[in-house]
Amino acid sequence: MRPEPRDAPTPEAVASLQRRTLTVVVASQVLGGAGLAAGVTVGALLAQEMLGSDRLAGLPTMLFTLGSALAAFLVGRITQRAGRRVGLGLGFAAGGLGAVGVVVAAALGAVPLLLVSLFVYGAGTSTNLQARYAGTDLAAPDRRATAASVAMVSTTLGAVAGPNLVEPLGVLATSFGLPALAGPFLLAAVAFLAAGGTLFVFLRPDPFLVAKELAEAADGAVDGVVDGAPAGTDGAPDGARRTVPAGVVVGATVMVLTQIAMVAIMTMTPVHMRGHGHDLADVGLVIGIHVAAMFLPSLATGVLVDKVGRVPMAVASGVTLLLAGITGAVAPGDSMVLLVLSLALLGLGWNFGLIAGTALIVDATTPATRARTQGTVDVLIALAGAGGGAMSGVVMAGSSYATLALGGGVLSLLLIPVLFLTRRSAPSPA
């Protein structure tokens, strides 16, 4: 069954719907940003407290990024069939339920429940990231990065407020008889459920379904057949070998490498800081600035990606992440200034890479397969984050935070040779 069928809208109607879509996505992202901050800020500390081991402090990041991988896959498939409204709404709802489970696990001291709940909580973090694609569905080709950036920058308010509310949320949690570190997950539960509700109720007409209708009308599609080939084959005849577009490969590689570098360093920074005598307020400040750097520059980044180009901004991502790693490696453990600078550069480099990579993916796909491809790519991003989070604790326990930070920065330089592929084979925006 095909949901929400309608006649092909006029260009004026499409422009109006794009503005409405961005408004709804902005509202949901403000809420979703507050939800994702909980795992980033206190996930490792909660695991350290409940498991009693620094070596396992990266486990929460691994779990909720593995959960986000599964969610990215499912949300992409659901969206391809039923649209953004249903896919994103269900993803946020699952994340909210996972946050509730984390709170209950912390209250009961139940480690197995904590691990399962962190896995489910990952659905919210993945969905928050996938919402950026909703802003691009009806955007003009030369405005795709800018449209994605609007969705991302709106995450800033909630994502920055969350880490800086760690202490008052901790007080609230203890007033309910809960561990202080469960406080941010109380906020996450409310925020994710509210974000999902906002999208499910207000994202009508669904922008992805409208984009599919427009593409089918332009290609002369009839009853799921595009240019004489079954829908979903990208126009390739039956039996033809389908290849992944080079732009998808390059865009995915950019986002995967930036995710590994960012997650590995970010995950262990709170543990590193607590080991050098910093309190939760200091941790919240550093992570809050980091998250602000991840999302706040998005509008400027989106314009640069559209105007300067996808490849130059991806190169800038690799260089910025290297600077972040070097700064973190040389920073004394008690230096708030250098830790703030390192984490700010880390967030900015990730921002450059994610928006450039997102634009490359959208440029290289069509609505017939776009949401499914986007979901698959976000699975790879989530798995990369899981690997980075899991290995970060092992590297830090076996060596030092400086080694971890420098290693993450050097890894990001692998972006540059990969990007040469785009010079020959990545398609132009269309």
Residue 226's DSSP bridge partners are: 229
Q: Where are the domains of the chain?
A: 12-214+244-425
Average pLDDT over the chain, rounded to whole?
A: 84
Strands (E), 189-233: 225-226, 229-230
What tens digit of pLDDT does each residue of 197-225 get? 999 999 999 999 999 988 888 776 444 44
Q: DSSP letter at 142?
A: G
Residues 6+ apart with CB under 8 A from 201: none
The model's confidence at residue 423, banded by pLDDT at 50, 70 and 90, is low
- Are the beta carbons of 124 and 376 closer than 8 angstroms? no
Helix (H) or strand (E) holding 229: strand 229-230
3-state secondary structure of 309: coil
Choose among 104, 91, 120: nearest CA to 46.
Answer: 104
pLDDT in tens, 76-85: 999 999 999 9
Rg (CA), the chain: 21
Pick the CATH number of 12-214+244-425 from 3.30.1330.30, 1.20.1250.20, 1.10.3720.10, 1.10.1520.10: 1.20.1250.20
Higher pLDDT, 240 or 65: 65
Q: Which helix (H) or strand (E) holds 230?
A: strand 229-230
pLDDT of residue 147: 92
Q: What percentage of residues in the chain have a pLDDT greater than 70?
A: 87
pTM for this structure? Answer: 0.79
pLDDT at 236 over 60: no
Spell out the residues 6+ positions from residue 9 whose beta carbon is closer than 8 angstroms to its own. Answer: 17, 210, 213, 214
321: pLDDT strictly greater than 50: yes
CB 418 within 8 A of CB 253: yes
